[in-house]
Structure 1
Amino acid sequence: MSKTFVEVAESVGVDEKTIRNVFKDYVALKEREYQFETPKWLGIDEIHIIRRPRLVLTNIERRTIYDIKPNRNKETVIQRLSEISDRTYIEYVTMDMWKPYKDAVNTILPHAKVVVDKFHVVRMANQALDNVRKSLKAHMSQKERRTLMRERFILLKRKHDLNERESFLLDTWLGNLPALKEAYELKEEFYWIWDTPDPDEGHLRYSQWRHRCMSSNSKDAYKDLVRAVDNWHVEIFNYFDKRLTNAYTESINSIIRQVERMGRGYSFDVLRAKILFNEKLHKKRKPRFNSSAFNKAMLYDTFNWYEVNDHDITDNFGVDFSTLIKNLEKGDL
């Protein structure tokens, strides 16, 4: 799959449509050949490939890609989830605040707990703070605007992660801009909600934060965040059950950049096949003993059981994120 359909058709002297049909049969064969283990903790996310958002299902526990689909429509999610034969094994499903995902999971996996990924929630606090920063630019000199733009990453970092120089710069900005100080403190306090392992304490911290936020001059900047938490309260606070998060989000961003770089000339179906059906990328567990196969062999041939070669099962968890990124960076896919 290193050449486009047109290139292959020209090199072997057949019609491009023939090559497409051969590829279609190849994909169907690989779909049957590779059956990834059903995740206990399923992630639903999206990845932009060829300028469109595509559904990506992940195994959070194993940090692997379980499947990729051409779109993230509710019907597509429902169809794919319904194809998982042992879907009752799935305990938790993480996602962003996209209602079609939630509706699909509630329809096909009513037993599973939905968890909104904390990353998407706290990111809204950063966006609110950055909006306040932008609103203050009108009252600054051009030099101040450029400096604040260049140093905005300091505002978005957690305070305890700042070095001495960054702490000094932060204190300088907040000391000169009270509105920015208030918005920054609200951001930090919102992050603080998720630092506790205690769900009751988390609820209490949010209640206190919400009251302070709605009484502040920054309430308009944070209104989208407050509305989101109000609308998705149960799913957001389900985070405290297992503290599950799509920790591979940055991995997805890296994959997007690399796939878009090498994706020119390829269709989505080809890129999907190059990712999912490349066995070098698969994360597998060492073979484990298959007692049912062993017992069956013993039942039918007591004296020749050692000749049976299907006693061991190798679990395949899907495409390993870290291996995929390394191969993409080397152009080896």
Structure 2
Amino acid sequence: MGIGIPSKILNLPGQRVNQIDWQPDDQKLVIQCRRDRRRKVVDPVTGKKGTINKYVKRQIRDVPLCGYRCMIEIELAQVWISKNERRVEYCKFVDKGSRFTHRFCHLVSGLCRHLSIQAVARHLGLRWETVKNIDKAYLHKTLPALDPSSLTGLKYIGVDEVARAKGHDYMTVVYDMEAGHLIWVGTGRTANVFSGFLQQLPKATAAAIEAVAMDMGPSYQKAVAQCLPKADIVFDRFHVMQNYSKAIQNQRRIEFRKANKPEKELMKGTHYLLLKNPDKLNEKQATKLQTLLDNNAHLNTLYVLKEQLQLLWDAPTYDDMTAQLEQWCQIADQSQMLYLKKFAQSLRRHCTGICNYAKHKLTSARIEAGNVSIGMIRKRARGIQDTEYFKLKIRQSSLPDDKSMFYGIAGYSLT
């Protein structure tokens, strides 16, 4: 059937719509176009005017139209260059060799930000690999560059490691802790990887960094000592308390092994009660925990020391925090619990980094929030084999949501 829809409505520059065919068997619309003969032919490499050798037809997929799969049949001019050389002219709405319009790729990438690749593939009737490749290519082209040499105004930064999958392909992520956004992603988690980022910073920017938040791993500490000798290292409260929780768990196992049958029954179901803060317990849980503490001196000591350790971060100054930490360690040294003594030794080794919190009040909350987003990426993908693609998804997760990604053409939305 003939139709007179202007090509501007469909935004197909260089093409004129001839007709739209409805194919009920395939449940799709096919928009047939011809090249606009009024447009001059230009060599896509040199930009010079050329002559037409012949017309080449291509069928590409566009965003759904009226709820149906939409294909566009376009016509492009093949430019005569020389006797043995021809080139197809440039098309604004589709890349060379691609079978999908730019706006369709935009739509696919927007969906992949919030859905699994498998879900998007099923919804759009595409192969899993096709959806992943579309999203990867689109992110490569559209994500803003993370260039350390152009960074300015950094005061506090945070660094952490993330894995594509458990035990596989670790990466280093760096955040601006004041602005709260990702500023760099690198492959690997060694000192050299982080040093490579720090060495790329402008000298003025590096000199202005006052503190770096991190966990207690030695590799990142080494990089800071080499490249930012004047910056303080701040070990976050979350990681300190996480290590203390491991000490509680290990000691509880020891207590359980040497307990008699009634004592074992009392200890069952108390694992997470020992780790939770008192204000998070309901009345039944609080009663059960108190009964356990009344009957086990070692676990009672660990629990009391946990509450005292949390007060460490309320100290007003660095000196006060250092003094309180040493007092806590002395109490731990007097106990007969091996894991508690080892934890106290670790606190003393990392005393400076822990107590630097009093100077800067810097936490790694932004890093942990970023890690949650990265964890959601892994969960949706059920593991990402392509490390480069994983890096792109990490960079995308740090950006604010772009609602325009859900729109292919005016009036069509998947939200």
Normalising by structure 1, we get a TM-score of: 0.70
Q: Say if 2:237 is the partner of 1:115.
A: no
- Which of 311, 317, 328 aligns to 1:198? It is 317
Q: Say if 2:248 is the partner of 1:129.
A: yes
Q: Aligned ranges for residues 1-333 of structure 1 at < 5 Å? A: 26=141, 30-31=145-146, 39-51=154-166, 52=168, 53-85=170-202, 86-140=205-259, 145=264, 148-218=267-337, 220-263=338-381, 264=383, 266-276=385-395, 278=396, 319=399
The unaligned stretches of length 5 or more in structure 1 are 283-318
* Whole-angstrom distance in 2 between the partners of 1:222 and 1:54: 32
Alpha-carbon distance change, 202 to 31 in structure 1, aligned in 2, over 3 angstroms: closer
The unaligned stretches of length 5 or more in structure 2 are 1-108, 119-126, 406-413
User: What SS does the aligned partner of 2:322 have?
Assistant: helix
* Whole-angstrom distance in 2 between the partners of 1:9 and 1:157: 43
Alpha-carbon distance change, 135 to 150 in structure 1, aligned in 2, over 3 angstroms: same
Deviations 1:14-65 (A, max 9, x none): xx9xx9x989985998456996665321001111223333211112222222
* Whole-angstrom distance in 1 between the partners of 2:262 and 2:374: 35
* Whole-angstrom distance in 2 between the partners of 1:119 and 1:201: 20
Aligned residue pair count: 276
Between 184-193 and 41-50, report the one with greater CA deviation. 184-193
Question: Are the equivalent residues in 1 in contact too, given 2:176–2:183 (CA < 8 A)?
Answer: yes
Instruction: Name the structure where strand makes up a greater proportion of residues.
Output: 2
User: What SS does the aligned partner of 1:150 have?
Assistant: coil
Between 173-182 and 265-274, report the one with greater CA deviation. 265-274
**What is the alpha-carbon root mean square deviation over aligned residues?**
3.7
Alpha-carbon distance change, 25 to 178 in structure 1, aligned in 2, over 3 angstroms: closer
Alpha-carbon distance change, 148 to 253 in structure 1, aligned in 2, over 3 angstroms: farther
Alpha-carbon distance change, 25 to 251 in structure 1, aligned in 2, over 3 angstroms: closer
User: What SS does the aligned partner of 1:97 have?
Assistant: coil
Alpha-carbon distance change, 186 to 110 in structure 1, aligned in 2, over 3 angstroms: same
* Whole-angstrom distance in 1 between the partners of 2:139 and 2:276: 47
User: What SS does the aligned partner of 2:365 have?
Assistant: coil
User: What SS does the aligned partner of 1:245 have?
Assistant: coil
Alpha-carbon distance change, 153 to 88 in structure 1, aligned in 2, over 3 angstroms: same
* Whole-angstrom distance in 1 between the partners of 2:140 and 2:305: 55
Deviations 1:213-271 (A, max 9, x none): 111122x1123322222222212211110221101354244234312223445511112
Residue 348 of structure 2 aligns to which amino acid in structure 1?
D
Instruction: Name the structure where helix makes up a greater proportion of residues.
Output: 1
Alpha-carbon distance change, 161 to 205 in structure 1, aligned in 2, over 3 angstroms: farther
Residue 80 of structure 1 aligns to which amino acid in structure 2?
F
Q: Cα distance, 1:69 vs. partner? A: 1.4
Normalising by structure 2, we get a TM-score of: 0.57
Alpha-carbon distance change, 48 to 265 in structure 1, aligned in 2, over 3 angstroms: closer
